[in-house]
């Protein structure tokens, strides 16, 4: 049984459909990457999975259990974590408090998970008493991912984690994503930097106009000349 299984998902905002039947499945411990041109519905798909968008047709299953249209806080309880693209930290809270908020529903986790998150992201330990709003973009992204990890999710949804970062930080974030995944967390992420993202992906999903265009392993998609020509900029 796949860890996360989306079947024929339709949905959108205020009567306008953006998703017109998307299929997507990842197994436990896999990294799934969603790529595609602007307006293809990549982020929208992620929001639909996390209950931020009404799914009008189709279904989304977590370990075989339907979860579409559940409110986000229920999904956190069921083992899903979400890192939005923008505004993904609490700027006036300290780094440590940001992380604590991630374990809001599992207060028993705080101590154990704090030390694990600091292991994943050592820079955060040094800055744990600093307000998150004062950190650099890359460090904020670490705080955001750390916050989501605090609830010990089985699957982590990342919305363009490297958007706006310098190449140096970008590589670092991809490294962290791999490490987190190696620790047993399934990943589903949307990325603009398609080549690098597909390079670490077990599964790749190329969306266009709210529908699947190509679905394969990351390596296969990278090797596919059609994909390269139309979506990876040659």
Q: Tell which one of 89, 155, 190, 198 touches another protein (CB under 8 A).
A: 89
Instruction: Kindly report each contact of residues 224-228 with a partner whose C-beta sits within 8 Å and lies 24 or more positions away, as own/partner.
Output: none
Residue 10 bridge partners (DSSP)? 20, 57
Query: Are the CB atoms for 219 and 203 separated by under 8 Å?
Result: no
Q: Is 39 in the site for another protein (CB under 8 A)?
A: no
| CB of 106 vs another protein, minimal distance in Å | 9
| CB of 95 vs another protein, minimal distance in Å | 13
What does DSSP assign to residue 113? H
Per DSSP bridges, beta strands 186-190 and 65-66 are unpaired
Q: Is 5 in the site for another protein (CB under 8 A)?
A: no
Q: Is 163 in the site for another protein (CB under 8 A)?
A: no
Give me the helices (H) in the chain, please.
42-49, 72-77, 95-102, 110-120, 122-126, 137-149, 167-182, 194-199, 218-223, 225-231
Q: Is 70 in the site for another protein (CB under 8 A)?
A: no
Binding footprint of another protein, residue count (CB under 8 A)? 25
Nearer to another protein, 122 or 129 (CB): 129
Q: Tell which one of 5, 100, 172, 191 touches another protein (CB under 8 A).
A: 100
Nearer to another protein, 78 or 195 (CB): 78
Q: How many helices (H) and strands (E) does the chain have?
A: 10, 10
Q: Tell which one of 13, 57, 66, 105 touches another protein (CB under 8 A).
A: 105
Q: Is 37 in the site for another protein (CB under 8 A)?
A: no
- CA 95 to chain CA centroid, Å, is 20
Which residues make up the interface to another protein (CB under 8 A)?
50, 52, 72-73, 76-77, 82, 84, 87-93, 97-98, 100-102, 104-105, 107, 147, 151
């Amino acid at each position: 049984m796949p860890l996360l299984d989306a079947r024929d998902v339709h949905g959108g905002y205020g009567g306008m459909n953006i998703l017109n039947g998307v299929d997507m499945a990842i197994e436990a411990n896999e990294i799934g990457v969603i790529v595609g041109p602007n307006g293809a519905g990549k982020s929208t798909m992620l929001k639909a999975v996390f209950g931020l968008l009404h799914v009008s047709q189709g279904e989304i299953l977590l370990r075989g259990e339907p979860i579409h249209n559940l409110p986000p806080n229920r999904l956190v309880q069921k083992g899903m974590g979400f890192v939005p693209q923008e505004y993904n930290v609490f700027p006036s809270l300290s780094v440590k408090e940001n992380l604590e908020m991630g374990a809001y529903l599992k207060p028993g986790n705080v101590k154990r998970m704090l030390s694990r998150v600091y292991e994943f992201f050592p820079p955060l330990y040094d800055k744990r008493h600093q307000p998150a709003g004062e950190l650099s973009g890359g460090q904020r992204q670490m705080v955001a991912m750390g916050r989501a990890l605090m609830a010990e999710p089985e699957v982590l949804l990342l919305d363009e984690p490297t958007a706006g970062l310098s190449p140096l930080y970008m590589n670092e974030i991809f490294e962290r994503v791999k490490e987190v995944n190696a620790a047993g967390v399934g990943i589903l992420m949307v990325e603009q930097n398609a080549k690098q993202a597909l390079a670490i992906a077990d599964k790749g999903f190329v969306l266009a106009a709210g529908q699947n265009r190509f679905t394969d392993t990351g390596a296969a998609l990278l090797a596919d000349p059609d994909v390269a020509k139309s979506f990876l900029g040659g």
